[in-house]
Amino acid sequence: MSDTESQESGQLNFDFKAFVFRVISYWKWIALALIVFIYIVYHQNIRREFPYTLSSQISIQDDKNPLFTSNTSLIFNYGGISGKVQELVLNLKSRKHHEKVVDSLDLHLSYLKQGRFYKTDIYGAQPFRFIEADSAQQILNIPIKLSFTSATRFSLEIDFEDIKSISTQNFITKRVKSLKVTPGVFKKEFNLYDEITLPFLAGKFVLRPEYTLKKGDEYFIQFSEFNATVTSFNRAFNVLNDQNSPLLTLVLTNKNKAKIVDYLNTCTFILERDQLIKKNEFATKTIAFIDSQLARVKGQLTTNADSLNDYKRKNKIFDIEQESTTLSSKIEGLKEQRDALRESRVSYDILENYLKSSDDFTNFPAPALEGITEGNISSNVSQITALSVRKSNLEKSLKSDAAVFSDLDRQIKALKTVLFENISAVNKTIDSQIRSINGRISSLESTFSVLPEQQQELQAIERRYLLNEATYNLYLAKRGEADLIKASNVSDIQIIEPAKDTGQGKNTVNLNIRYVFAVFAAFIPFVLLGAVVTFFDKKFHAPKDLETATQIPLLGVVGKNETNSNLVVFNKPKSPIAESFRAIRSNLSFFYNQKQISGSKTVLLTSSISGEGKTFCSINIATVFALSEKKTVLVGLDLRKPKIFDDFGLTNDIGAVNYLIGQKSVKEVVKQTQVPNLDVILSGPIPPNPSELLIGDAIENLIKELKENYDYIILDTPPVGLVADAFELIKYVDTSIYVARQDYTERSMLDLINTKYNKKEVKSISTLYNYYDVKGRYGYGYGYGYGYGYGNYANGYHQLETKPSLWKRLKAILKLK
């Protein structure tokens, strides 16, 4: 890679070392940020309230009722134990289930006690209870303070601050209303058991057994919006279940252990209760249907019994004659066949009635299926059950308007239609058989015509009575079966491990990691700031930056001038700055010897822009040559912005301008200074055409005449970045010095001089790094390395500036005051 390419690459590359030292320079701000962030984290840690996590375990059993028939058992347990577990898991996670738990425990009401940093939930340990009025609206999300002035009297206080409107809720209807209040503090005294009837609070406080209150006790109660409370518990609740396992683990996280225990156990209790109610629902519906039929048949049976008794009493008939025994026996045989057919017909009627009156066919009651012998009907019942179970499972995971529900309803309806047709056909067959038997019975009964009329009428009454009695006994038996099934049902949920406070600790986490984040939070902004500033910073901060920005050799490094005068070499000859100028003088002498330049020697100083210390360097280079007993003249050719006169205490009334326009001779414009062997030629009055004056023959004549009288001629010229005057003067000098200042000169300012140097338009030129801070703005430790000074090894040879101690500076400030 060529030097030019290396230079351009150096400009584009990110200076990682400068970035590191720049970040280090922010150490005071970083330390302050560390203190602030660590303080914040510390106070957050000590205020952190950790929750508890407790659990309970239940098992889902496949408890089959031993009174079910084999077919019925299959219908009742359709889907197996796995499907039942998933159904109960969905119930446990449902919002409806958690609403029941929150409502039963009144968890929308919190009992609090003020701790060191926050209010602590004392659920289960509060000495009193608040019994809400059913129809009242209670204030939401604002703490209500109770300050006890005695064991039975307290002051109720609510701070409304600047609130003009509050939210209230009735926890029976769950209705939320807005209520206007007067801003400020509401305060009123009550006794325990007093009925409180405020617009935003209604109910009474009652003392819990085995608790006492004393003067000075302070507590808080706070109502939370019901839906928000349910949501918070639902999110903190979880159900753990291994695949194909009947064991469920209920887990809840909360800041109060007593609340967790009650919540989990109540959750299990409500699930068990609802599951058993649902399981008994089929038997309950069957019992209700049979009861309605029993009431009807019982009325008919009573009427027939009364008729039979009245007829016997009226006609004094107590025994049936022997000749009718055989005939009656045949008739009774036919009646038994008819009764069997009627019993079967009753079973089909029960099934048909259940299909018409019920909407849920997930499980069929046993009485509705006994006596069903038709294979097609049993098959269709099983299909309806399967479709209903599938629909029930999908309702827990899909929206109610999903297309699949319409399809399932359509299939169920079609199957019901087919069942009704099958039942109708079977009933017609049974009715036909009954009519046939009735015909035969009528034929046999006709033989009774030979019997006495009274006896025939008696037997007719007895037959009606026996028919109603058989029907009544049939329904009564069916009802007994349904009662037995309902009584023998047990819950499928078995509690393995109830929730219990066994001294479990809080869910503590290692909060010390927060301090690590605090350290990062303190460092990262300054690291980013340092990276951004370093990326966009194009100024020189060290001599090495100047060396990488140009191929022009570096002549020397001049330290930061801490004095108020530019005559540093003359005023403080033992200072590090004076020594750096002596190093520059040595390097110039080496150059002159290498180039074999004899006689008077010339040096031109320029820079990119004003303010880079060009004049300061010119004065001190001229001074260091003069102090070496060389006759030296400093010529101020910055005609637009003259400065030299002020440093030597001279007036700028006569100078180089006067000579260049032919007003004065060289002797008339030369002025002596307080520095031995050093004369100066000031720039003089500011001319209207400075560039034209510097390109004429007069300037060449001036330099020739000065060479006859001086050993060294130092030219202080304008900045080349602003005007081209300095380039016109380069041809008259032996060497040129380009001044760059630390933290001031930008890399791009050297583009012009670099271009001319690379094109060989400028020769014998060097750079000078000015105003260099030995310590470095960002921690650079260059000192006076590079061979341009003595650095820290100059102790005893340099007149070092030492700052007064902090104590001396404080004393000076106090004296000034």
Q: pLDDT of 77-86, one tens digit each?
A: 434 556 778 8
Give, as one character, the DSSP assignment of residue 772: E
Provide the terminal-to-terminal Cα distance of the chain, rounded to the nearest Å. 64
In which band, very low, low, confident or very high, does the pLDDT at 784 lie, cut at 50, 70 and 90? very low
Are 433 and 426 a contacting pair, CB within 8 Å?
no
Q: What are the residue ranges spanned by the domains of the chain? A: 3-48+515-536, 109-224, 275-497, 543-816
- For residues 609 and 615, give the distance between their C-alpha atoms in angstroms, rounded to a whole number: 12
In which band, very low, low, confident or very high, does the pLDDT at 589 lie, cut at 50, 70 and 90? very high
pLDDT higher than threshold 80 for residue 791 = no
3-state helix, strand and coil shares in percent for the chain, rounded to the nearest 5: 50, 15, 30
pLDDT higher than threshold 70 for residue 311 = no
pLDDT higher than threshold 70 for residue 674 = yes
Q: Count of CB atoms within 10 A of residue 701's CB?
A: 13
Model confidence over 30-65: pLDDT tens digits?
A: 999 999 989 888 888 777 778 889 999 998 876 555
Number of residues assigned to the chain: 817
- For residues 778 and 531, give the distance between their C-alpha atoms in angstroms, rounded to a whole number: 13
- For residues 241 and 251, give the distance between their C-alpha atoms in angstroms, rounded to a whole number: 11
201, two tokens: 């609070």
Are 164 and 180 a contacting pair, CB within 8 Å?
yes
Model confidence over 145-162: pLDDT tens digits?
A: 999 999 999 999 999 888
Model confidence over 198-214: pLDDT tens digits?
A: 999 999 999 999 899 99
pLDDT higher than threshold 80 for residue 595 = yes
In which band, very low, low, confident or very high, does the pLDDT at 646 lie, cut at 50, 70 and 90? confident
Strand order in the sheet with 218-223: 119-121, 109-114, 218-223, 144-148, 153-159, 185-191
Q: What is the pLDDT of residue 178?
A: 93
Model confidence over 382-419: pLDDT tens digits?
A: 888 877 877 777 776 666 666 777 787 788 778 878 88
Reference 734, options 591, 550, 623, 608; nearest CA is: 591
**For residues 83 and 519, which has the higher predicted lDDT (pLDDT)?**
519
Q: Which amino acid is at 459?
A: Q
Model confidence over 424-473: pLDDT tens digits?
A: 888 888 888 888 888 888 877 776 554 555 565 666 666 666 766 777 77
Question: Range with the lowest mean pLDDT among 183-192, 264-273, 323-332?
Answer: 323-332
Q: What is the pLDDT of residue 78?
A: 39
Question: In the predicted model, what is the mean pLDDT of the chain?
Answer: 80
In which band, very low, low, confident or very high, does the pLDDT at 143 lie, cut at 50, 70 and 90? very high
Are 298 and 472 a contacting pair, CB within 8 Å?
yes
pLDDT higher than threshold 90 for residue 219 = yes
Mean pLDDT of 520-526: 89
Are 54 and 499 a contacting pair, CB within 8 Å?
yes
Mean pLDDT of 15-31: 85
Give, as one character, the DSSP assignment of residue 762: S
Q: What is the pLDDT of residue 465?
A: 67
pLDDT higher than threshold 80 for residue 370 = no
Q: Which amino acid is at 160?
A: F
Pairing mode, strands 765-772 and 735-741? parallel
Model confidence over 731-778: pLDDT tens digits?
A: 889 999 999 998 888 888 888 888 888 888 888 899 999 988 865 554
- For residues 184 and 195, give the distance between their C-alpha atoms in angstroms, rounded to a whole number: 24
Provide, rounded to the nearest whole percent, the portion of the chain with pLDDT above 90: 32
In which band, very low, low, confident or very high, does the pLDDT at 480 lie, cut at 50, 70 and 90? confident
Strand order in the sheet with 52-60: 237-240, 247-254, 52-60, 493-497
- For residues 291 and 285, give the distance between their C-alpha atoms in angstroms, rounded to a whole number: 10
**For residues 634 and 6, which has the higher predicted lDDT (pLDDT)?**
634
Q: What is the pLDDT of residue 796?
A: 35
- For residues 173 and 138, give the distance between their C-alpha atoms in angstroms, rounded to a whole number: 12
Q: What is the pLDDT of residue 1?
A: 36
In which band, very low, low, confident or very high, does the pLDDT at 691 lie, cut at 50, 70 and 90? confident
383, two tokens: 């299909």
Are 351 and 368 a contacting pair, CB within 8 Å?
yes
Q: What is the pLDDT of residue 793?
A: 30
Are 139 and 164 a contacting pair, CB within 8 Å?
no
pLDDT higher than threshold 50 for residue 74 = no
**For residues 242 and 126, which has the higher predicted lDDT (pLDDT)?**
126
DSSP calls for 417-473: HHHHHHHHHHHHHHHHHHHHHHHHHHHHHHGGGGS-HHHHHHHHHHHHHHHHHHHHH
Burial class (CB in 10 A: 0-12, 13-18, 19+), 20: middle
In which band, very low, low, confident or very high, does the pLDDT at 102 lie, cut at 50, 70 and 90? very high
Torsion angle of the four alpha carbons 676, 678, 683, 685, in this order, in degrees rounded to the nearest 10: 30
What is the CATH code of the structural domain delimited by 543-816? 3.40.50.300
Residues paired with 250 in a beta bridge: 56, 239
- For residues 390 and 384, give the distance between their C-alpha atoms in angstroms, rounded to a whole number: 10
In which band, very low, low, confident or very high, does the pLDDT at 70 lie, cut at 50, 70 and 90? very low
